[in-house]
Amino acid sequence: MRDDRVAYVPRLLRALVRADELWLVMLAAAVGCAAGLLVGAMSHATLLAHRLLFAAPGIGRISGLEAIAPARAILVPTLGGLLLGLLGVWVTRRVPGRPVDPIEANALHGGRMSIRDSAIVAVQTVLSNSVGASVGLEAGFTQIGAATGSRLGRMFRVRREDLRLLVGCGAAGAIGAAFDAPLAGAFYAFELVIGTYSLANLAPVAAASVSAIGVAHLLHSTVPGVSVVLPAALRMDDYLPIATLGIVAALLGVGLMYCVTLAEMLFRRSGLPVWMRPAIGGLVVGLLALASPSVMSSGHWAMRVALEHAMPTGQVLALLVMKALASSVSIGAGFRGGLFFASLYLGVLTGAAFGGGLALISATPLSAELCALVGMSAMAVAVVGAPMTMVFLALEMTGSLPLTAAVLVASVISSLTVRRTFGYSFATWRFHLRGESIRSAVDIGWIRTLTVGRMMRHDVKTLCQDTTVQAARRAYPLGSGQRIVLVDQAGRYVGLVLVPELYAESALPDETLARFAQYRDQMLTPQMNLREAIARFEQAESDALVVVDSAEGRQVRGMLTEQHALRRYSEELDRSRRELAGEKGPSA
């Protein structure tokens, strides 16, 4: 029996080595290590800048300071904004095009990202945070982490679905290392960057998240835990105010996203040069920092202060308004960064204010710490759109199961409220403003890449429109084909003729084919994607359309049938379904 067990071990090891998933897990772990290294470098760079530029004591987190020298509070973000604006103009001239973020890359581009563009975004994010702009580093973290996954995947020529998975692994490692929370990092990738959870994707994403956190610990770049006192259990009647807090946080999150959009619109309409706008935004943030430095940077340390030290409700509301204004102005003016970190601090303030108000009207109010953490999670869900990420983040931050249950309720309520009233997270809202129809990272890029030019048939039967019916009958006997494409003397498309109509009793032998032409202005072009082609078929009410080079040139290039287009659409939908379910199919 022992010999059988010993003989079984090498067979098992060989099976594991041959498994397709093993090398992908190893590659994902490498992506996670790279993400952890980059997160650590960016974090240390910003903290060093805070110590040098703001004379911040200790580790250099400025948002937790009680006061900053007025000259530094105003000059650093103003001059830093000017530097960022000039850098942005230089980058625009040298590097044309717009960077693709991880969600957009996975939704439209099959996971393809530019490492150069992402490095530029990371540098701009570090610069923005270093000079005190009210933005978070998570945008730079996930951008460079996901781009690293995309780059390594293309180096090893992985399949399209595996490349998208590696982009998610990079984002998972970045968020996991940023919060020292492997589960939160993994579910951030599942909910936002990959677009769905599947068992087949769990091992690579988990490997990336854990590897990134290990590197972050080696670099001493992890954030210390939060020390709060939480109730040991919750009563059933506690969940009503918790659900109400979820609704309040959701509405404030929607308001915050509208404020960012309004700030961007005001800066565009101001007539200020693009390079000057960040300087003006930095000046506004500096003036707000004179009242409280907590409005500066991501607000991570200010969040700790708000959680561990009770403040009067009036002060909490004032900080909430100032931080929301600072974040809106910073992003609207052109500073690089995200709202994830800022939404956590804003959520803590929202929960603290809600708890203070609840204490005035309830004989058994919820604890201030519980309200603050629930508000933190609900606000982040409203802005970022990842409820399970926040549930696991709350669990990993505190280890409290009662809090986790409360966060789950508030997060679900917040997500539903935003979906019904607004319909977008911050990232997808910005896609919507650019005209992109992206609601998640689920892959819809195949719709754009599957063009008419790739699907059309090239062997097209054509005749001049002056050809007689008798001549057409000799060239195309009944049963030889269904359609004839008519062109003029210059070869330009003028319409379609159905062959059976030429053999009808009403068709005179000496008539020209021009009388039988249909669909004269209903055409396809090779650049149209599958969705546009299907819409054109529905509009024309035809089962086949001619493909021309352009609407102006009208030179015939081929023909496409509605049946073939719908079959390809069904095949791609089935492939996408298999991918979402974690089933491995043939390479796309």
Instruction: Give the orientation angle of helix 160-179 with respect to helix 20-54, to 10 degrees.
Output: 40
Contact 174, 340 (CB under 8 A): no
Per-residue pLDDT tens digits of the chain, which is 588 residues long: 444 544 554 555 445 444 567 888 999 999 999 999 999 999 999 999 999 999 888 766 788 888 899 999 999 999 999 999 999 999 988 887 788 889 888 887 888 999 999 999 999 999 999 999 999 899 999 999 999 999 999 999 888 888 999 999 999 999 999 999 999 999 999 999 988 888 888 999 999 999 999 999 999 887 776 777 788 888 898 899 999 999 999 999 999 999 999 999 999 999 899 999 999 999 999 999 999 999 998 888 888 888 888 888 899 999 999 999 999 999 999 999 888 989 999 999 999 999 999 888 887 788 888 999 999 999 999 999 889 999 999 999 888 888 999 999 999 999 999 989 988 888 777 777 766 666 665 656 556 667 888 888 888 878 898 888 888 888 888 777 788 899 998 889 999 888 888 888 788 888 888 888 888 888 999 988 887 888 888 888 888 899 999 888 899 999 998 888 888 777 776 666 666 555 555 443
Structure tokens at 570: 């069904």
Position 10 scores a pLDDT of 54
Q: What residue type is assigned to position 203 of the chain?
A: A
List the one residue out of 112, 194, 110, 113 whose CA is nearest residue 450. 110
Calculate the dihedral angle through the C-alpha atoms of 406, 581, 198, 401, rounding to the nearest 10 degrees: 20
Position 226 scores a pLDDT of 72
Q: Which residues pair with 498 in a beta bridge?
A: 483
H/E element holding 462?
A: strand 462-464
Contact 195, 106 (CB under 8 A): yes
Model confidence over 247-287: pLDDT tens digits?
999 999 999 999 999 999 999 999 899 999 999 999 999 99
Position 230 scores a pLDDT of 81
Calculate the dihedral angle through the C-alpha atoms of 317, 320, 321, 325, rounding to the nearest 10 degrees: 170
Position 169 scores a pLDDT of 96
Model confidence over 348-359: pLDDT tens digits?
999 999 999 988
CA 554, 558, 561, 567 torsion: positive or negative?
negative
List the one residue out of 431, 84, 426, 374 whose CA is nearest residue 246. 374
Contact 369, 228 (CB under 8 A): yes
Structure tokens at 457: 């048939």
List the one residue out of 239, 187, 255 whose CA is nearest residue 418. 255
Contact 179, 384 (CB under 8 A): no
Position 363 scores a pLDDT of 74
Position 587 scores a pLDDT of 41
Q: What residue type is assigned to position 165 of the chain?
A: L
End-to-end CA distance of the chain: 46
Structure tokens at 23: 């090398």
List the one residue out of 123, 122, 46 whose CA is nearest residue 296. 46
Long-range own/partner contacts, residues 49-53 (CB < 8 A, 24 or more apart): 49/126, 49/130, 49/131, 50/130, 50/132, 50/297, 53/80, 53/130, 53/131, 53/132
Position 220 scores a pLDDT of 86
